[in-house]
Every structure is written in structure tokens, then in C-alpha cells.
């Protein structure tokens, strides 16, 4: 069963599930990308900061899968923000990926204390207008950062990639995205593995004959989010993409909603990350 596409606010279509490659060593990346493509993945999420863009590019090239069938995201790292620096960093990423056109470019973190994210966004808009990027978006932006970008440039990000898993469900952030027409993409969707032993999820999974990872990813898909689980294990990669053949009931969705926790955040707080 193929992965559904989500249409972003600029008309670009993105597969609702992709492979995250954070912490994937560069030398193992080409083989793992080829394995993912063989298992039906058509969406890869990397970043300049992950140090494996060249491996992603090599894997895509060596797979023989046509370039236009694969959706590739990379991200601008914090120390490259600013208009001119962004243009240079983009060229470096594209050189490593070996691509002519990028599907999605994200500002990795807003870094509000440094004050460069609006200028960075203006460079993203220019690159999109030149046809070098299909869709432009952000990551870890709070509603106040999104509103400032829109107010100062008139251009709304297509997507915001944020931490989102059963113990950190981001309902206020998702509501802000819905109001602004921004798609929500979940990072660390499995809570970096932490969520996999939860008893409520285990019970729901056994009822469907599915794994806990599959239930979590299915929950994110039913919320309307895009999700990018990471795995370097061939069986788990296949497992994580096999979530389009079952459905969680409203009652099961409600039980998962109750797992949200005030202290559920794993990563940094975007308001103070610097
Ligand atoms: P994740 O929540 O995807 O968990 C990954 C870990 O869960 C794996 O290392 C593996 O140990 C385990 N796992 C995966 N599939 C499994 C399965 N089926 N069964 C059992 N265990 C399984 O964690 P992540 O890598 O932090 O997040 C996913 C992706 O999100 C990253 O690779 C990256 O692309 C992106 N990300 C973005 C940001 C950001 O700031 N934008 C931050 C973190 C991660």
C-alpha cells in the first residue's frame, strides 16, 4: 500500500511518511537509503547538521529510483542564518546532495536570541522564486515566530517540523498551524524509542495485531500530520511504513490523547535554545 500525499499550502505534494536520518553515520547512509527506497519510502529527511547529506545523495543516485519520485528535505543549521550566509549554505548542501532542485528546505531552529530568522527566510523565498526549492518551511518555530515571519514577509511557511510524540502532543501548536495553513511534521515521532513500552499503546497494538511503533505512527497520520521515524534496521524500516492497512477508532485516538504529559518534551525548548 503506498504512502498518501499531503498537499502543502503552495501546492507541493509531500509523502505523509518519510525516513529520518539523524545520527545515521555517513558511510552507512547510502546503503540504508537504498534499503528504504526498496521498502517503498519516497521521502527522506536530512539536515546539514546531520553530516550525511552526501550519503543521502549517493544512496538516491545508486538506487536508480528516478529523482522526481523522491521527496528530499534538508535543513539550514543555526550558525548559517542570515541572508547571504543562507545562500552559501544552501549551495553547499546542494553540492553534497548532488541535486539540482530541493523539495523542501527548513530553517532548523528559530534561534530568536540571535535575531536572524527573518533575513534567513527572505533568502529562502528568493531561492524558491528562482525555482531551486519546491517548498520552504521551518522547524521548531513557536506560533510567535511563525506570525513574525508572515507579518514581515507576507510568505507563510509550508510546514513546521516540531517535536511530537504521545507524551508531547503539541495540541496548541497544531491548532496554530491549522489556523495559519501550515502542515505539521513530527520529529522524534517515536519519542526516540521511549514511547514504545507504554502499556496503553501496547494494548491497542495487540488488539490490531500491530507493533507499538505502528500504532504511534498511525495516530500521527490520523491527526493529519507528516511523520519521519528513523531506523537503521531493515525490518523496522518496513514495519514503520506498513501503517496504511489499519485504522484507530475514535476511542483509541482519545486514549492516546490522554498520554500527553506536562514534562513530555525530550529536546530543547525553541524559546530558549541558543
Ligand atoms: P524517533 O522517534 O524516530 O526514534 C528513533 C529510534 O526509535 C531509533 O533509533 C530506533 O532505536 C527506534 N525505532 C525506530 N523504529 C522502531 C520500531 N519499529 N520498533 C522499535 N524501535 C524502533 O527519533 P529521531 O531519530 O530523534 O527522530 C526522527 C527524525 O526526526 C530524525 O531522524 C530527524 O530526521 C528528525 N529530527 C528533527 C529534529 C529537528 O530539530 N528538526 C530533531 C530531532 C529529530
Share of the chain above pLDDT 70, in %: 100
- Beta carbons of 82 and 116 less than 8 angstroms apart: yes
Probe target for ligand 1 pocket from 191, 230, 268, with the most ligand atoms within 8 Å of CB:
230
In a domain, 253, yes or no: no
Instruction: Give me ligand 1 centre to Cα 83, in Å.
Output: 31
In a domain, 255, yes or no: no
In a domain, 269, yes or no: no
Give the CATH number of the domain where residue 161 resides: 3.20.20.100
- Beta carbons of 186 and 226 less than 8 angstroms apart: yes
Is 117 among the catalytic positions? no
* pLDDT tens figures, 71-120: 999 999 999 999 999 999 999 999 999 999 999 999 999 999 999 999 99
In a domain, 50, yes or no: yes
How many domains in the chain? 1
pLDDT of residue 194: 83
Q: CB atoms < 10 A from the CB of 207, how many? A: 12
In a domain, 147, yes or no: yes
Residue 129 domain boundaries:
5-190+224-230
In a domain, 128, yes or no: yes
In a domain, 206, yes or no: no
In a domain, 201, yes or no: no
Average pLDDT over all residues of the chain: 97
Distance (Å, rounded) from C-alpha 83 to C-alpha 116? 8
Amino acid at each position: 500500500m503506498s504512502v498518501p500525499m499531503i498537499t502543502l499550502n503552495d501546492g507541493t505534494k509531500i509523502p505523509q511518511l518519510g525516513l529520518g536520518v539523524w545520527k545515521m553515520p555517513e558511510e552507512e547512509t547510502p546503503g540504508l537509503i537504498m534499503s528504504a527506497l526498496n521498502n517503498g519510502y519516497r521521502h527522506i529527511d536530512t539536515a546539514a547538521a546531520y553530516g550525511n547529506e552526501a550519503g543521502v545523495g549517493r544512496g538516491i543516485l545508486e538506487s536508480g529510483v528516478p529523482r522526481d519520485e523522491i521527496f528530499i528535505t534538508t535543513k539550514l543549521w543555526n550558525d548559517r542564518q542570515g541572508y547571504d550566509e543562507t545562500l552559501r549554505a544552501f549551495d553547499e548542501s546542494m553540492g553534497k546532495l548532488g541535486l539540482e532542485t530541493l523539495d523542501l528546505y527548513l530553517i532548523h531552529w528559530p534561534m530568536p536570541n540571535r535575531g536572524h530568522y527573518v533575513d534567513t527566510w527572505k533568502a529562502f523565498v528568493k531561492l524558491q522564486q528562482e525555482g531551486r526549492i519546491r517548498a520552504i518551511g521551518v522547524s521548531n518555530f513557536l506560533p510567535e515566530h511563525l506570525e513574525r515571519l508572515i507579518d514581515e514577509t507576507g510568505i507563510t511557511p509550508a510546514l513546521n517540523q516540531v517535536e511530537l510524540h504521545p507524551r508531547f502532543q503539541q495540541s496548541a501548536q497544531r491548532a496554530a498551524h491549522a489556523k495559519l495553513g501550515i502542515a505539521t511534521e513530527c520529529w522524534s515521532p517515536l519519542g526516540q524509542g521511549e514511547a514504545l513500552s507504554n502499556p496503553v499503546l501496547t494494548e491497542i497494538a495487540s488488539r490490531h495485531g500491530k507493533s507499538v511503533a505502528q500504532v504511534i505512527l498511525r495516530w500521527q497520520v490520523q491527526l493529519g500530520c507528516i511523520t519521519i521515524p528513523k531506523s537503521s534496521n531493515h525490518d523496522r524500516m518496513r514495519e514503520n511504513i506498513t501503517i496504511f492497512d489499519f485504522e484507530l477508532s475514535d476511542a483509541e485516538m482519545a486514549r492516546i490523547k490522554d498520554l500527553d504529559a506536562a514534562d513530555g518534551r525530550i529536546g530543547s525548548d525553541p524559546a530558549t535554545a541558543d
